[in-house]
Structure 1
Amino acid sequence: MTEIRHAPVAPTRTQRLASGGEIDAHRHDDHQIVYAARGVLAVTTSEGSWVAPGTRAIWVPAGTVHAHRAYGELDLHLVGLPATDNPLGLDTPTVLTVGPLLRELIVAYTRDGSGDSPERARLRAVLLDQLRASPQQPLHVPAPTEPMLRAVCAILQADPGDNRTLAELGREVGASDRTLSRMFRRDVGMTFPQWRTQLRLHHALILLADKTPVTVVAHRCGWSSASAFIDVFRHTFGHTPGTYPTAVTPIRRAVGVPGEADWLVPGHPGAG
């Protein structure tokens, strides 16, 4: 990410992003909540990638240089918050669980990103309360800085289904498994198996967004069987990949939020 836009104010709005669409590297002076009600959203910084399906949102702290990428058609909701308003006290990008109420609050708040009416202020206050109660999720693939570790990670990023051991990968890059194991803990704060599992889950979400069958996803991502993949997926996301929500339908009637045609506006590469 060499060319970086500076958009001081983080927008509050909705937009649609086509599958494969990207929003280039940029930063805001504000915090931002990025939520995709449909599809899978990936946010990338110099420190790694965070991925969120339709039941998760990504918190992007003020000043963080980041880029977005869509996997599957995205209904994207952006919420900007002043740098002084950090309800979770987070200074790194973080994936947050989005329950039904928080989802509806985000949809309603981003329907019209302008104005400061008392009603909108109350909506924002409830949204922040729900954010404070939102569980955090470790859906992060850290980017290494050590050259040898970068080489190992590049091999696995090119093929997440590569099942070679750390010792076998080490022979390819000229390092022992002990050395690489220490590097993983020191450089990315994870063990090698933890990092590889995160990478595989990231890739699995992308494949599921493209409606790839579960058995094919398990094979391509390196799990020994579909049942092993399903167990890891259920433990991480709380549901099976077979019930993966490629589209989340907001409960508009219960909260009086207009239909999709009223709140979605076309996206463009320079947005976000």
Structure 2
Amino acid sequence: MQSHARGHLVYAASGVLALHTERGTSIVPANRVAWTPAGFTHYHRAHGDTDMRIVFLAPSLARLLPDHPSVFLASDLAREVLLALTGPRNYDDAAPGYSRSARSRLLRVLVDELGEAHEQPLHLPEPRDDRLQAIARMLYETPADNATLAELGKTIGASSRTLSRLFRDELGMTFYEWRTQLRIYHALVLLADGHDVIRTAYACGWAGPSSFITAFTDIIGTTPGRYRTSRQTTARTSHPTVVRSSE
């Protein structure tokens, strides 16, 4: 766990990152940018061979971005700026060949691009209620579990009505929306590790590839097959500093 005095952007040029804060987990697949404001305690976890680039922002630029952890889709221009700003050691301070004024201009372009991008629905909020935490632990361990909320409630001594209310009030989403987000996170990890679409669908609890492809496309914006292809293409062309998964 760490915390920084400056807010920072983390870019997954390839692979999949998970950004954990006290508010939950942000899923950062390839060609997404995660924003963590100053002062948030956090840690990153890489899945697969991940090309991770980090750029810190001065307060004057940070205030133009959200005051909470968030994920953005990287435009082509934002991607090229991030790669230009990050040197061979993957941190912005190591980037060679740019004067201070040039770096300032590039950073402003980057923040402007992110300001035009929509936040991605890739944040999985962390439950605080003990009952929700118990359910979260079970589903993190077995994302393919298709038990209903009522069935899960019986194991922890809470009614489905109570649990439904807690999901809405505490996490701002239904149980089924939360579980879908969780499954997409696990699916991204499996795809990063080289699993095919069919195996990934069943491992994450979908009845078949078709329903998995629909859910994946709704959240990620492309099919899992196209995502795997684009991730592999990006990995071949990005001259990465690789962070190898600890798994």
The TM-score with structure 1 as length reference comes to: 0.81
Answer yes or no: is 1:113 the counterpart of 2:93.
yes
| Per-residue deviation, residues 102-146 of structure 1 (Å, max 9, x unmatched) | 101110011362564332222222112112112211101111111
Moved more, 237-246 or 44-53: 237-246
Q: Is the 1:37–1:247 contact (alpha carbons within 8 Å) kept by the matching residues of 2?
A: no
Q: Is the 1:54–1:247 contact (alpha carbons within 8 Å) kept by the matching residues of 2?
A: no
Q: Which position in structure 1 is the counterpart of 2:211? A: 228
Question: Quick one: which of 92, 115, 131 aligns to 1:148?
Answer: 131
Residue type of the partner of 2:93? G
Q: Which position in structure 2 is the counterpart of 1:130? A: 113
| Per-residue deviation, residues 156-180 of structure 1 (Å, max 9, x unmatched) | 1111110010000000110000010
CA displacement at 1:88 relative to structure 2:
4.0
Residue type of the partner of 2:143? P
CA displacement at 1:55 relative to structure 2:
1.9
Q: Which position in structure 2 is the counterpart of 1:26? A: 2
Q: Is the 1:104–1:251 contact (alpha carbons within 8 Å) kept by the matching residues of 2?
A: no
Q: Report 1:171-182 matches (<5 A).
A: 171-182=154-165
Distance 1:266 1:104 in 2: 18
Q: Is the 1:87–1:132 contact (alpha carbons within 8 Å) kept by the matching residues of 2?
A: no
Q: Determine helix, strand or coil for the equivalent of 2:234.
A: coil
Q: Structure 1 residues 267, 30: closer, same or farther in 2, change over 3 A?
A: same
Q: Which position in structure 2 is the counterpart of 1:198? A: 181
Long gaps (5+) in structure 2? none
RMSD: 2.2
Residue type of the partner of 2:220? F
| Per-residue deviation, residues 26-65 of structure 1 (Å, max 9, x unmatched) | 0001010000101001000122111111121100011000
Q: Report 1:1-272 matches (<5 A).
A: 25-86=1-62, 88-111=64-87, 113=93, 116-244=99-227, 245-247=230-232, 249=234, 260=239
Residue type of the partner of 2:199? V
Moved more, 92-101 or 231-240: 231-240
The TM-score with structure 2 as length reference comes to: 0.89
Residue type of the partner of 2:152? L
Q: Determine helix, strand or coil for the equivalent of 1:27.
A: coil
CA displacement at 1:248 relative to structure 2:
5.2
Q: Determine helix, strand or coil for the equivalent of 1:96.
A: strand
Q: When you count helix as a share of all residues, which structure comes out higher? A: 2
Long gaps (5+) in structure 1? 1-24, 253-258
Residue type of the partner of 2:22? S
Q: Structure 1 residues 267, 139: closer, same or farther in 2, change over 3 A?
A: closer
Q: Which position in structure 2 is the counterpart of 1:3? A: none
Distance 1:265 1:171 in 2: 47
CA displacement at 1:265 relative to structure 2:
5.2
Q: Determine helix, strand or coil for the equivalent of 1:113.
A: helix
Aligned length: 236
